[in-house]
Amino acid sequence: MNEPEKQNTLIKERWLLLLIFLAAITLRLIYLSELKDSPLLYYPGLDPAAYDLWARRIAAGDWLGREVFYQSPLYPYLLGIFYALFGRHLFWVYILQILAGSIDCLLIYGIGKRVFGTRAGFLAGLFAAVYKPFIFYDVALLKTFLEVFLIDLCIYLLLRAGDRKKPATIFLAGLILGLGSLARDNFLILVFWFYPWLWYQLNKSRCAARSSWFLAGFALIIGISGIRNRVVGKDFVLTTSQAGQNLYIGNHLKNLTGTYTPPDFVTANPSFEQTDFRNEAIRRTGLKQLTPSQVSNFWIARTFQEIRLDPKLFLERLLLKLGLFWNRKEIADNVSYYLTQIEFSFLLRMPLLDFGLIMPFSILGMILALRKKRGILLFGYVLIYWLSVSLFFIFARYRLAVIGPLLVYAGFSLEILSGWVKGKNWKKIAAAMILLATAAGLTLSPLIVETLDYAYYNLGNSYARAGKFPQAVSAYRKALLYNPAPAEFWINLGIAASRVGDLDQSLNAFAEAVVRDPDNANGHLGFGIALYQARYFSAAEKELERALTINPNLSQARVYLELIQSKQKGG
């Protein structure tokens, strides 16, 4: 290729990159504008609330913390740095995440170009720009966008390092994998695939020794994390101490779905999960104290004990998890894709790309690439990541880290298919259609039934935190339409109804709560307060006393009991 041709090619590539970037950032900004009425954006709960609180502590000067990391630390630290420099302005946090997500589309283009060529890379980058789950998670106060960005950057750097053999690029790839491991723990095991692949690539050019720079970059980040945990928490843990707990959540005997199903003694909230697991481990062992690594090891051992008690259940559940990873269903935890689609976003209801559309073409692309012995790095990564996630439990956001490579495979398969169509190679096209139909059958199979009960419950909680109690009442009532069983749904409805002055609805909600769960102290407390407000003092007294019997630390119950006694003395 002569110099003018190179210049033309470079100009065309720049236009392609600009097109991908503009498509990505435009769609994400439109989506952000759609969420202006969503309380989930600025009044988050669960993991987003935990990250936000952690970031505020960091911004206030608590840089080292006081214990071993339980949750992945990178995202809260980045948030904390932003808060310290610019204040807690979540709108601008989302703008930065949108920028990172749009740049990630360019990285996916770069990966596709290096593995399969410019055309496949362009299709992959464009797919990433319009992929709805990417858009969704780029505007959530979660680490998900960061995991995706870092792993795609690491893969891109590895491909560059394999070609150019520059120590700086090799070191940076290891550094990025280390940082990625502080955002998603199971990235740690990727060093056992990425390093041998890189060594083999460099060995072909007789410079395999340079691959040690990759290990150096990786070890630098992980070493800093491990030393920090040892100094602060007096326990040597490389990244986080929740491996055993997560393994148990995904594999205990009462988990029949392979999704997040906490055991009975755990509150499904990151603010309580760590303490609940530690306290239960201490209770079962009879010891006075356990280090974080000892707690994790205890639950790893307990997981294997329960697997031995019912190996058939373990195998059936593992097969289900392996299938759920490839299923179209966007299994929610903190934020619900489907609720946002219904309540707030026309963009997410548009016929843009989702997992069900790209997965069959990704599978076809993997098979075609393996036959040509291409894309080995990507295939090994997808395989290892799939298996590692399936050993724990499945959420849709957990698989997002492999979507970049899958989009690359999808772009490659479409390029091959278009060539077959032009060449009228009907036999290969027919075989491809059969494979696509089979893969579509897998991804569309109803492997799990999920409702929006907890999604609406969490939405109601966000509305309540925002002080929008009429909307909170509406959200709680929608949650109850899906599932009237949980007492906390009724309790929070009772609280929200009382805040809008609907005392009858509040009384009815609390009465239902104490029926649903007679041992819930908060239910009796709320019922007692509502009865007091309705001037049923005798009944209120009984409910408040019952609340104190269950939980003697409810000071609010004592306050209302004193008010009741004062009114009884007064007449």
Alpha-carbon gap, residue 254 to 250, rounded angstroms = 9
Q: Give the closest residue to 474 by CA, choosing from 496, 453, 447, 455.
A: 496
Task: Give the pLDDT confidence score for residue 1 in this predicted structure.
Answer: 60
**Hey, is 131 helix, strand or coil?**
strand
pLDDT at 311 over 80: yes
Task: Give the pLDDT confidence score for residue 137 in this predicted structure.
Answer: 97
Q: How many residues does the chain have?
A: 571
Boundaries of every domain in the chain: 3-236+329-444, 243-324, 453-569
Task: Give the pLDDT confidence score for residue 207 in this predicted structure.
Answer: 84
Q: Residues with Cβ < 8 Å from 215, sequence gap 6 or more?
A: 174, 191, 195
Q: Using one digit for the tens of pLDDT, what is the confidence trace for 169-186?
A: 999 999 999 999 999 999
Topology (CATH) of 453-569: 1.25.40
- Determine what percent of the chain is predicted with pLDDT higher than 90: 88
Q: Using one digit for the tens of pLDDT, what is the confidence trace for 70-129?
A: 999 999 999 999 999 999 999 999 999 999 999 999 999 999 999 999 999 999 999 999
The answer to whether residues 135 and 122 touch, using CB atoms and an 8 Å cutoff, is no
Q: Residues with Cβ < 8 Å from 544, sequence gap 6 or more?
A: 524, 525, 528, 529, 532, 557, 560, 561, 564
State the CB neighbour count (10 A cutoff) for residue 201.
20
**In the predicted model, what is the mean pLDDT of residues 425-440?**
94
Q: Which two tokens stand for residue 50?
A: 């935990």
Confidence of residue 219 (pLDDT cuts 50, 70, 90): very high
**123: DSSP letter:** H
The answer to whether residues 287 and 279 touch, using CB atoms and an 8 Å cutoff, is no
DSSP result, 525-555 = HHHHHHHHHTT-HHHHHHHHHHHHHH-TT-H
Q: Residues with Cβ < 8 Å from 464, sequence gap 6 or more?
A: 472, 492, 495, 496, 499
pLDDT at 571 over 60: no
Task: Give the pLDDT confidence score for residue 152 in this predicted structure.
Answer: 98
Q: Using one digit for the tens of pLDDT, what is the confidence trace for 134-148?
A: 999 999 999 999 999
